[in-house]
Amino acid sequence: MTKLLILYNTLKRWPFGAWLFSRAVCWKAPYFASISPRFTVLENGRCEAVIADRRRVHNHIGTVHAIALCNLAELTAGVMTDASLPKGMRWIPKGMTVQYLKKAKGRMRGVATPTIPLLASGSGYELPVNVDVFDPAGERVFNAEIRMWLSSVRPASA
């Protein structure tokens, strides 16, 4: 179990633990605080987070902005990858392909899952992560494939 997953499992038992975990993630990666995410599920191979329907994530027509959806997708994919990473491996986003399927209105829920198993490997490899974003009615409004580059951690040079 990764340190991130241990932290999540510890904090989620506390009152306001999910809020505190979300704040900690945004402290480490400050840009994501712009969407005020709340993590609702984190386990090996799955991450779910929500963003509230707030004016600051809206576009000019009053729906959730495309980039806010991209931020939610990248955040959930990254946290899922980090929580699922085999020992001795690291990751970095390599690319993202998105589809806007319908107007995004209301609270958005992002769900990230890998499309192949995460493996410990001496050589680097690309991990495709699927992220679906759902509206309050459970309809899929957005989809992303985020390609993560996984590689082994190099030992510190002496």
DSSP letters along 28-87, please? HSGGGGGG--EEEEEETTEEEEEE---GGGB-TTSSB-HHHHHHHHHHHHHHHHHHHPPT
**Coil, strand or helix: which one is 4?**
helix
Token pair belonging to 35: 């969407």
Q: Give me the mean pLDDT over the 33-44 stretch.
A: 97
The C-alpha atoms of residue 47 and residue 143 are separated, in whole angstroms, by: 15
Q: Provide CB contacts within 8 A for 78, sequence distance 6+.
A: 29, 91, 93, 148
Domains located in the chain, CATH noted: 3-152 (3.10.129.10)
* Sign of the C-alpha dihedral computed for residues 98, 99, 105 and 109 taken in this order: negative
pLDDT at residue 122, rounded to an integer: 78
Q: Provide CB contacts within 8 A for 60, sequence distance 6+.
A: none
Q: Is 156 a residue whose pLDDT tops 90?
A: no
Confidence of residue 31 (pLDDT cuts 50, 70, 90): very high
Nearest Cα neighbor of 46 from 105, 5, 98 is 5
Q: Give me the mean pLDDT over the 132-154 stretch.
A: 96
**pLDDT per position as a tens digit, 94-118:** 999 999 999 999 999 999 999 999 9
**pLDDT per position as a tens digit, 59-71:** 999 999 999 999 9
Percentage above 70 pLDDT, the chain = 97
Token pair belonging to 56: 């600051």
Contact 60, 91 (CB under 8 A): no
